[in-house]
């Protein structure tokens, strides 16, 4: 692995550790558990599994790649995207994604949750990064994984990135239903004002 590839991998490890540590801190501040997978009426087993697979793979796969090499002979993605400029671009995306995700997680404060369950949601956070995205943590994680794929292009890393993107899409759909049912009109107004991923919805004059 090159120096840039090692730096990107270490950034991912730092992000995962920081995510878990901050979740514990926010749970203590809120005085309640923040892990809601498995609670409520919505089935979240599949996105929870995909999240675990993606993040575990992002930590373990680069180590296996460095130790044993790519098991896929003549991996077409590695041949197409390997190079120093791709490493620089990917590393910048990894750092940007990690920072966006962590800052957004901290900004949620005591409203931070992992998963969704009716009656377990905190107050709506609609300022800061949440004024331009309803899901900035997920946006940051997606950017991080896309960056890691560019730094370490392979079919396996592509599969891990795809697993994360599918998990995000499934979980967002679940959370939107839970938030609408739990928080009602305030959330519906927020949803009408801010886009799911990025941007503010322009309201046409009456």
Q: Give the per-residue pLDDT at 203.
A: 64
Residue 34 clears pLDDT 60, i.e. is over it: yes
Residues 100 and 140 sit within 8 Å (Cβ to Cβ) = yes
Using alpha carbons only, what angle is made at residue 50 by residues 155 and 71, rounded to the nearest 5 degrees? Answer: 25
User: What percentage of the chain exceeds 70 in pLDDT?
Assistant: 98
Whole-model pTM: value is: 0.93
Which tokens in the block code for residue 113?
A: 């949750």
User: What b-and-e string marks burial along 165-177, b requiring 16 or more CB atoms within 10 Å of the CB?
Assistant: bebbebbbebbbe
pLDDT digits (tens, 9 = 90+) for 60-96: 999 999 999 989 888 999 888 888 899 999 999 999 9
| Span 142-172, pLDDT tens digits | 999 999 999 999 999 999 999 999 999 999 9
Q: What is the spatial distance between Cα 173 and Cα 161, in angstroms, rounded to a whole number?
A: 19
Rounded Cα distance, 81 and 83, in Å:
6
Q: Residue 114's beta-bridge partner residues?
A: 35
CA distance 43 to 116: 10
Mean pLDDT, residues 34-50 taken together: 87
The gap between the terminal CA atoms of the chain, to the nearest Å, is 58
- Give the tens place of pLDDT for each residue, 93-141: 999 999 999 999 999 999 999 998 888 888 899 999 999 999 999 999 9
């Amino acid at each position: 692995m090159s120096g840039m590839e090692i730096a990107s991998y270490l950034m991912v490890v730092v992000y995962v550790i920081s995510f878990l540590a901050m979740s514990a801190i926010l749970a203590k501040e809120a005085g309640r558990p923040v892990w809601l997978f498995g609670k409520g009426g919505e089935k979240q087993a599949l996105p929870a599994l995909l999240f675990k697979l993606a993040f575990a793979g992002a930590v373990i796969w680069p180590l296996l790649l460095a130790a044993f090499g790519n098991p896929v002979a003549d991996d077409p993605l590695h041949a197409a995207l390997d190079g120093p400029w791709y490493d620089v671009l990917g590393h910048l995306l990894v750092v940007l994604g990690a920072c966006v995700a962590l800052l957004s997680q901290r900004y949620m404060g005591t409203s931070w949750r992992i998963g969704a369950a009716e009656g377990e949601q905190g107050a709506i956070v609609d300022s800061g990064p949440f004024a331009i995205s309803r899901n900035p943590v997920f946006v940051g994680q997606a950017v991080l994984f896309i960056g890691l794929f560019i730094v370490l292009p392979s079919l396996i890393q592509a599969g891990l990135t795809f697993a994360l993107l599918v998990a995000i899409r499934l979980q967002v759909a679940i959370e939107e239903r839970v938030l609408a049912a739990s928080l009602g009109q305030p959330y519906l107004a927020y949803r009408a004002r801010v886009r799911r991923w990025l941007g503010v919805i322009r309201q046409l004059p009456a």
